[in-house]
């Protein structure tokens, strides 16, 4: 992996640390913080992980704005790193890895979502992790990685229910491609 990928991932976290306390609370953050005081397996309008993230960060680091936004700021690291890793996984050389990491680092959607506490800060981490696992499997990785895919997707559903759409898209994409043989591995031992 190109060293620039790690550098960009680290720089992205630093940028978020520098700017995540420069304005007041976003109204949804206060709601998630309140939900974090009453943990449950689900809420009327969102999955439980964001409330748990609020509970963890406030419990460990206090009630500051920085503490509430710590985990979203940290979520940018795996996004940038996974972008570079996936570029490498599809055959990209160091420049491709650098460019993929740079584009995710500078993507306006992540610069926005990763600066306040919401499910949207964590959702791309789960999607990108699952996509990276599928790429690794399709490039000759162990079929046991499907268990990791299931675990990541399961936690992703606890973050936001849209993970079901992503999982459905992966399944349909595999079925409509030559990768459909992945569905036969467990039953017939096809490799």
Percent of the chain with pLDDT over 90: 81
Domain of residue 86: give its range: 3-188
C-alpha dihedral sign at 83, 178, 151, 156: positive
Q: Which two tokens stand for residue 161?
A: 């229910």
Q: Tally the domains of the chain.
A: 1
pTM, to two decimals: 0.90
191's CB contacts (< 8 A; 6+ apart) are 185
What digits encode the pLDDT tens for the residues 97-119?
A: 999 999 999 999 998 999 999 99
What digits encode the pLDDT tens for the residues 8-17?
A: 899 999 999 9
Residue with tokens 């055959």: 91
Residue with tokens 């992790």: 129
Among candidate residues 138, 172, 166, the one with its CA nearest the CA of residue 152: 166
């Amino acid at each position: 992996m190109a060293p620039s990928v790690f550098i960009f991932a680290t720089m992205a976290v630093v940028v978020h640390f520098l700017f995540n306390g420069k304005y007041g609370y976003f109204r949804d953050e206060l709601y998630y913080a309140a939900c974090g005081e009453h943990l449950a397996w689900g809420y009327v309008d969102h999955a439980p992980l964001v409330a748990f993230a609020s509970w963890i960060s406030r419990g460990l680091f206090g009630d500051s704005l920085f503490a509430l936004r710590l985990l979203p700021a940290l979520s940018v690291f795996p996004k940038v790193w996974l972008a570079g890793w996936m570029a490498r996984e599809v055959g990209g050389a160091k420049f491709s890895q650098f460019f993929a990491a740079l584009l995710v680092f500078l993507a306006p959607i992540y610069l926005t979502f990763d600066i306040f506490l919401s499910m949207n800060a964590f959702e791309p981490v789960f999607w990108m992790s699952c996509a990276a696992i599928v790429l690794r499997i399709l490039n000759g990785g162990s079929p046991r990685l499907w268990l990791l895919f299931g675990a990541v997707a399961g936690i992703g559903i606890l973050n936001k229910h849209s993970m079901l759409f992503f999982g459905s898209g992966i399944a349909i994409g595999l079925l409509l491609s030559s990768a459909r043989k992945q569905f036969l591995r467990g039953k017939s031992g096809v490799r």
